[in-house]
A and B are shown apart, each in its own frame.
Chain A
């Protein structure tokens, strides 16, 4: 019994200590209405880098929103640890304890799918900046996403190979993970519907360092094109190096993971002429460029989709909050559906009737160590 009491005492002590607020949080400017917005992000765990980028984008947006509008937003961050189960606990805490009606995040598709039913049943708006799984489209009325579904990328790649390159048969190599499979399925279905033939399709476990077995088989088949769908840049780099080593001569088309910091530095000339689809997002133009400058100034990093889309997410929510005069979730939800042609750091956004952003993809390629738009 004594031990139990000690344990209970420890618990109580920690809770009181933390609850009273070691208060280094942001202090809202006095006088303005305070709106709490929850954030579900993978701040630790295997996708920590994306969570960091997202956080940076959100912080920049937060400063601007609190200056421009007559309300102040307070962000309450909860870490999902890159795991769906933790995301569910975090979401429950945000909804029942902090009582937020608006949530930005999560970043990962599987976390979003686990959390969506909770947000939907409690009627809270959930806006995920980048999750790409197909199932999110039908996840609920209150569920929105800023990213186009992954299969649009696959379709874009299929169109490119079949129509532009005039190649009718292709091999596929893909990582066995949610997002990479979404891209691959989009590619495979559309390529087949165009009349193309898939001569080889193999999945690998993310993190495998050795692709030689699959690549040797591909070399024997000698396809004219290869659609490669990885789910992280480390695998991408390894695979490309091995493709070049084995001297496989084929047109390589891949998904947005090609454009990650470090890829061109490591691959050098080996990356040349690889074509990939990317969310229509141009840090070299207008709003994208403005955001890139801000990110460089504050955090000394180049813009990426996690930062840019999270930035847009908060700014779009702010527009809806402003129109509603508060954070009533029914009102915000209606306003979000009305968003059309919002020009943001992540390009042009409009929400369709499912709460998905209607965004286009662009083709990019690597030329002399630079990621550039694909020109004929």
Chain B
């Protein structure tokens, strides 16, 4: 049934987006509050391109690449900042991008948004039904997640984790941490952009109101509640947060309070889950104890620089 297919599609899109944030925040420890901007850049770029007749797959790549470029540009000045300051700086970036979406009306039509974004086209086949789109996005989600997983399994991933755990230790072992963080941010931006492309081409309408702080918090929840830094955990987190409010729709309540009650219960459920699973649904593979931090440092020393 279409409703379930719709939820499955959302889970796939969010799985890519959450995984991209996992790369930046879960693995590398960069508190990127502006991550939603890359999602938005991908969405707007590919929408504008396909609306002027460009082939979908080119637009798809363009969306990801432009998002990556912005990730890189954002990284250069901000990656020297730590913790809260990085959060504020990236949040500021997110707001700038949203302001551009809202005010550059000649390009983006501002708050009117872009309606009528076409569905993807492959060798003449248009993915116009929900089921066909689900198959496409599932395949894409598997491929992209696989790529991210491969990066994580290699030494590159271990360096990122080391940076998250103790950046100074990683530096003393000869790693150019700023360079690694920049690569991680750029990659995260790239995948977020790709997720944005599919979001736009599924809902067929985007406007700046989708890309706000509220959404960023949602993705952070997916990463954290699934288990920061854990590949499978993030995917589970995406599924959890997409599915959590849905059973509440079936609650029979007096119509005057049905909507606010659903929101209250949703919030209560979130709190209960976080209390019950403080390390996320799966929990991070490496616990942040002194013993494992030494172990990480040892591992780094064994990697050829």
Contact surface of A with B, Cβ cutoff 8 Å: 3-4, 7, 11, 14-15, 17-19, 21-25, 43-44, 51, 55, 59, 75, 77-79, 81, 83-85, 88-90, 92-93, 95-97, 110, 113-114, 117, 121-122, 133, 135, 176-178, 181-182, 203, 205
Contacts and interface: CB of A to CB of B under 8 A. Distances in A.
Interface stretch (B148-156, B165-173, B254-262): B254-262
Contact of B247 (A14, A75, A89, A113): A14
A77 B259 contact: yes
B133 to A, nearest CB: 12
18 contacts: A4-B281, A7-B281, A15-B247, A17-B251, A18-B251, A22-B252, A77-B255, A84-B209, A85-B210, A89-B6, A95-B2, A113-B115, A113-B205, A121-B128, A176-B103, A176-B105, A178-B207, A205-B99
B248 A113 contact: no
A46 to B, nearest CB: 9
Contacts of A55: 255-256
Contacts of A22: 251-253
B1 interface: yes
B3 A92 contact: yes
Given A22-B253, A83-B209, A203-B110, 19 more contacts: A14-B247, A14-B248, A18-B250, A19-B247, A24-B253, A25-B252, A25-B254, A59-B255, A77-B255, A89-B7, A96-B1, A96-B4, A97-B3, A114-B205, A117-B204, A122-B2, A133-B112, A178-B207, A181-B111
A85 B7 CA distance: 12
Given A11-B247, A97-B1, A176 B102 contact: yes
Contact of B282 (A3, A75, A83, A93): A3
Contacts of A93: 3, 246, 249
B252 A23 contact: yes
Interface size class of B (residues with CB under 8 A): 35 or more
Contact of B203 (A59, A77, A79, A85): A85
A180 to B, nearest CB: 8
Interface string B94-120: 000001001101000011110100000
Interface string B1-45: 111101100100000000000000000000000000000000000
A93 B250 CA distance: 10
B274 interface: no
A156 B25 CA distance: 53
A21 B1 contact: no
Contacts of B99: 205
Contacts of B207: 84, 110, 178
Given A19-B250, A93-B3, A88 B203 contact: yes
Interface in B272-296: 277, 281-282
B103, B246, B248, B252 — which one has the most chain A CB atoms within 10 A of its CB? B252
B74 interface: no
Nearest to B3: A96
Contacts of A203: 103, 105, 110
A339 B2 CA distance: 32
A43 B254 contact: no
A15 B246 CA distance: 9
A44 B112 CA distance: 22
B7, B103, B204 — which one has the most chain A CB atoms within 10 A of its CB? B204
A176 B209 contact: no
Contacts of A177: 111
A43 B6 contact: no
Contacts of B144: none
Contact of A181 (B112, B251, B256, B282): B112
A77 to B, nearest CB: 5
Given A3-B281, A83-B209, A92-B2, A77 B258 contact: yes
A122 B3 CA distance: 12
A122 B2 CA distance: 10
Contacts of B6: 88-89, 92, 96
A203 B105 CA distance: 11
Contacts of B254: 24-25
B10 A89 contact: yes
B263 interface: yes
Nearest to A83: B209
A43 B258 contact: yes
Contact of B250 (A15, A79, A90): A15
A231 to B, nearest CB: 9
B79 interface: no
Nearest to A14: B247
A135 B252 contact: no
Nearest to B239: A7
Given A176-B103, A177-B111, A78 B2 contact: no
Contacts of A17: 251
Nearest to A134: B112
Nearest to A114: B205
A17 B247 CA distance: 9
A83 B205 CA distance: 12
Contacts of A88: 6, 203
B263 to A, nearest CB: 6
B178 interface: no
Contacts of B236: 4
